[in-house]
Copies of this chain bind each other. A is one copy, B any other.
Amino acid sequence: MVHKTAARTLTFSIQDYVKSIYDLTAAGKPATTTAIARRLNVSPASVTGMLQKLASAKPPLVSYKKRQGARLTESGERAALEVIRHHRLLETWLVHTLGYSWDDVHGEAERLEHALSEELEARISRALGNPARDPHGEPIPTSELVMPRDESVPLSALRAGQEAIVRRVQPHATGALPRLMSMGIQIGSRVKVIGISSYDRLTTLRVQSKRRNVTLGPALTGQVYVETIDSKIKGTRARE
C-alpha cells in the first residue's frame, strides 16, 4: 500500500533509499547500485529504477549517472537526515524509557521511524534532553538537520599498543552488537590493542574494565569506531 507520512510526502521506500545512500556515501564515494540493493534487500534492477525516479523527482533527491552510482542532493540529504534523526531518537527513547538493550532497538526503530510526526519527534527529543548521540554512540542530527561532527576512527585504523575508548558502533552488521556485548565491549569501554596479526588481520584487544582479552575479525573492527586516548588528552587538537 502507499504511505506518505512524516518526512513530508516521501514514501517509506524513498525514505529507506535516501537513508541507505547517506550511509553508503559517508566514505566519500558514490553509492553503487548493488550496495544499495544489498542494504535494502532488494534486487539491483529495482534499485536502478528507483534511482532514476529519485534523480528526476521534482526536486531531485539524488544525482545519478548511469553506472556511476548515486549521491544525495541537498534535498536528498535533508530527507535522509530527517529519517536518521527519527531513527536515532527512537532508539534512544526505547532504551531510556522502556529498558530495551542497545543491541535490540535497531529493528524496532526501523519500523517506527517512518510514522513519526514532527511534533512527536520534538517531544521525544525534549523529553530526552535533546541528546546528541544514540545508544550505539551514533550522532543524532539536530532539529535543524545538522549532523554533529564525529572524530572517531574505526578500530581497524589503530596500531598495536594504542589505547582508545569505544565511541560508536554501526548497528547495521547483523549480529555485531550481541557479539560485542558478549565480549564485554560497550560504548565508553576502554580498550588497548594488544596485537594485529598481519596474516589474517585479526585484532586482539584488552578490554580494560573486564581485564580480559578478546580477538576481533575485520568484519567487526571496521564497524567499531573509537577515539584514541592521545587525541583525547590533547583535547580540541584534532578539530580539523
Interface residue? A5 (CB, 8 A): yes
Instruction: Contact check, B111 vs A123: say whether CB atoms are below 8 A apart.
Output: no
Size category of the binding interface on chain A = 20 to 34
Residues of B near A2 (CB, < 8 A) are 1
Residues of B near A112 (CB, < 8 A) are 112, 115-116
Interface residue? A108 (CB, 8 A): yes
Interface residue? A120 (CB, 8 A): yes
Mostly, the A contact residues are helix
| Interface bits A83-104 vs B (CB < 8 Å: 1, else 0) | 0000000000010011110000
Instruction: Contact check, B123 vs A100: say whether CB atoms are below 8 A apart.
Output: yes
For this chain, the copies found in one complex come to 2
With contact pairs A108-B120, A117-B108, A120-B108 given, residues A127 and B97 touching in the complex (Cβ less than 8 Å):
yes
A111 to B7, CA, bound (A): 13
Residues of B near A117 (CB, < 8 A) are 107-108, 111
A120 to B107, CA, bound (A): 11
The contact of A108 among B94, B100, B108, B119, by CB within 8 Å, is B119
The contact of A1 among B3, B100, B120, B123, by CB within 8 Å, is B3
Please name 20 further chain A to chain B contacts, defined as beta carbons within 8 Å, in addition to the given A98-B123, A114-B115, sorted by A numbering: A1-B1, A1-B3, A1-B11, A3-B3, A3-B12, A5-B111, A6-B111, A94-B120, A97-B97, A98-B120, A98-B124, A98-B127, A99-B123, A107-B117, A108-B119, A108-B120, A111-B115, A111-B117, A112-B115, A115-B115
CB-based closest 5 A-B pairs: A111-B115, A1-B13, A98-B123, A112-B115, A115-B115
| 22 chain-A/chain-B pairs, Cβ below 8 angstroms | A1-B1, A1-B2, A1-B3, A1-B12, A3-B3, A3-B12, A97-B97, A97-B127, A98-B120, A98-B124, A98-B127, A99-B123, A100-B123, A107-B117, A108-B117, A108-B119, A111-B115, A112-B112, A112-B115, A112-B116, A114-B115, A115-B115
